[in-house]
Amino acid sequence: MVPSKPMRYSFTGSASPLTNDQIGRIGSIITKLEYPKEFTTGAAYGVDSQSAVHAAMIYPDAQHRIIIPAKPYNEEIVETVEKITSNLEVVRMPSNTNYRDRNERLVDYCQDGMLIGFPKYEEERSVRSGTWMTIRMARRRKIAHYIHVLEPHQDGLSDMFSYNQLKLSHEQ
């Protein structure tokens, strides 16, 4: 993942509890990001919270943003990230909005950057997934995206989409 200019990254992923291995993989991917300018997450438990904490710890001087939905969310995440960095913007979605609206906002913030998705399963197993919905929004808008499936098929399929796919998505 090697962009050539400062990048805006938005994260989307499973709100399910994460294993220590999954948390480690999320942190490892965030560590490898180059030229970070901005990080945006959606305030859910699971991937959103872990991504926000990892990004703030690794890149405290970058701009960090947490989008608070008008629906249930991890109320402790803002306080946790504020203890790590002073570069935090909190965006509260209007009361008449839903998770889809929040996900659209996540994609808006990475319009000229990259969406990094950590879905629990492959797309065909997750038709109603908010994570995959957000990834599809980015695809439709031709926004670069990188996908790491947290619980891949047991039939040997790779859980990491290739850099070539990322590169092709970013060059379009």
DSSP per-residue string spanning 91-113: EEPPTT--HHHHHHHHHHHTTTS
pLDDT band at 90 (very low <50, low <70, confident <90, very high): very high
Distance CA 53, CA 107 (A): 20
Query: Which SS3 state, helix, strand or coil, does residue 172 take?
Result: coil
pLDDT at residue 154, rounded to an integer:
65
At which residue do the structure tokens 């001087």 appear? 61
pLDDT at residue 167, rounded to an integer:
39
Residue ranges per domain, the chain? 7-171
For the record, the structure tokens of 128 come out as: 């109603």
Q: Which CATH architecture has domain 7-171?
A: 3-Layer(aba) Sandwich (3.40)
1-10, 76-85, 144-153, 157-166: range with highest mean pLDDT:
76-85
Q: If we measure between CA atoms, which residue out of 89, 64, 87 comes closest to residue 9?
A: 64
pLDDT band at 126 (very low <50, low <70, confident <90, very high): low
